[in-house]
Amino acid sequence: MPKTPSNKLYELIQSLSGSEKRYFKIFVRDKGDKNSKYIQLFDAMDAQETFDDEALRALIYPDKKIQSRKYSELKAYLYELILKSLQSYDEKTSVDFRLQYLLNSIKVLFRRVRFEDAQELLAKAQKLAVKYEKFEILVKLLDWEKQIAYAETNISYLDQNLPRIEQLEMETITDIQNLALYRNTFFKLLVSLRKDASMRKTEQKERLLELLQRPELSNISHARSHHARILYYRIYTFYYYATADFVQFRKEGEKLIALIESKPHFLKESVTTFISALSNLLMACILTSDYEAAEENLQKLKKIQPITADDELKIHRQYYTVKFRLCINTGQFEEGLRALDEHFERLEKGKLNRKIFESESFYFQYICIYFGTGVYDKALEYLNHWLNSPKSIQRQDLQSLARIINLIIHYEMGNTLLLDSLIRSTYRFLNKRNALYQLEARLIHFIRTILAIPGKKERKEAFTELKVEIEEMAKDKKVKAMLQLFDLEAWLESKILNMSFAKVVKEKYRLQKN
């Protein structure tokens, strides 16, 4: 069987921004290679809408029979050349690359006994490393300060400055350790919440509390640097979200945004954390039902200028995540459908990785919007895509909720014959994963019994009885958090009043607003 051609070069070229492509052309032109075959290959790959390796090979070598190895070597060379141009590009725009350039230049000058020149660069690099909290580089630079003085046999300099250098080294190493503690706690918390954001298992709550027992997390004064303080607030925004304390979740989110904006020079280097923090604040506004503030912050998110292709992807992802959720929560499902079409159109026309959006969270929102507009076949289509996709450890709470919604969609579509087997499989799925909580068990039982009730009056009474029970369960803030993902109470109300689901949600939002 022939080997499938690698498309990593194609994907790399497609991921480049316009300015990066222009820089590559300048980079190549300066080398005097503007008419070479790898430039032809670059332009051809850039122009292709979909990767076609055979067409590229025929275009670059139209009149020659060429060995596969030679063509592979051409692609490998182009790949390496692009990486070199990107490194050169980043040296002009990235503090990390600028510092690495200065560090390498210090080494070059040191080897050629240009100690005075090396010291000049050393002073620039140290100032830059301190300003941007590049602690690991700063430790290396402090070591170079000692090496240069030793090479010059400048004992007087060492005598005067060694205490200062040693003190700064110890403080910087402490800064590294302090930052690592906050970073590791943040990632452990992230993994725990991505696995199950509902926090309905006792052992998960205990693990979360254990993570936060460190003295450094008792007060922000223990965070030694700007980046450590950012992580401190990110940890607590996650914590309050997980414990469904949405008011405090929002307060911590607002503190985090104020902290990030207080040091604008860091935003010139990276906006990734700002995008994430603003996204969480948007979600907090939604969870506290302040939709006007959510709309304001949504426009703020949209105005962020991306620095990298990943930033562009994150802005798109977070913007539509919040936009969809606003439409779902306010009953504006038709507007949500327009936003969904716009989102899909951008995915088709743009160069965003579509696989990023084939996730539990996005599929769940697609399903809710189609459900709200009564397009049950599309809701079911995305639900089946989701349920049949490879299982991940992320959002196991949504995986459970999806199976309940699956029953509701089939009920709406009148698939009564299929529902009997779906009810059994749903029960087995939840029971096997120890996720058959009171809410899920009651809903499964309800769907099973409602199918056997023939009269409209009796069915209305059954829906009313279930709604009362759900309202009682919702006093548990974990259950309430789950019900904010899918408005089950509004669905039950729509059946009781014989109204559309969208109209009930919209009316519910209107009353809350007033």
pLDDT 10s per residue in the chain (514 long)? 344 557 889 888 888 878 888 888 888 876 655 558 888 889 888 888 888 888 888 888 776 665 667 788 888 889 999 999 998 888 777 899 899 999 999 999 999 999 999 999 999 999 999 999 999 999 999 999 999 999 999 999 999 999 999 999 999 999 999 999 999 999 988 887 776 655 555 666 677 777 778 888 889 999 999 999 999 999 999 888 888 889 999 999 999 999 999 999 999 889 999 999 999 999 999 888 898 899 999 999 999 998 887 888 889 888 998 899 999 989 999 999 999 999 988 887 765 655 666 566 788 899 999 999 999 999 999 898 888 876 654 556 677 788 889 999 999 999 988 998 999 998 888 888 766 678 888 888 899 999 888 888 999 999 999 999 988 888 887 777 677 778 899 999 999 999 999 999 999 888 877 6
Q: Closest Cα partner for 208 from 175, 241, 231?
A: 241
Pull the structure tokens for residue 382.
Answer: 């995305």
pTM of the model: 0.71
470 φ/ψ angles, rounded to the nearest 5 degrees: -65, -40
Write out pLDDT tens, residues 26-38.
Answer: 888 766 555 588 8
Contacts from 41-50 at CB under 8 Å and sequence distance 24+? 41/74, 41/75, 41/78, 42/13, 42/78, 42/82, 45/9, 45/10, 45/13, 45/14, 46/13, 46/14, 46/21, 48/10
Nearest to 316 by CA among 261, 286, 357: 357
Q: How many residues does the chain have?
A: 514
**Residue pLDDT, tens place only, 399-412:** 778 888 999 999 99
Q: Mapping DSSP to helix (H, G, I), strand (E, B) and coil, where does residue 439 land?
A: helix
Q: What are phi and psi of 445, to 5 degrees?
A: -65, -40
The token duo for 149 is 């003085």
Contacts of 114 (CB under 8 A, 6+ apart): none
Dihedral angle over CA of 191, 193, 196, 202, nearest 10: 110
Other residues' Cβ atoms within 10 Å of the Cβ of residue 508? 17
Q: Which residues contact 426 (CB under 8 A, 6 or more apart)?
A: 403, 404, 406, 407, 444
With a CB cutoff of 8 Å and minimum separation 6, the contacts of 433 are 396, 400
CA 445 – CA 509 distance, rounded (Å): 29
Alpha-carbon distance of 321 to 324, in angstroms, equals 5
Are 324 and 339 within 8 A, CB to CB?
Answer: yes
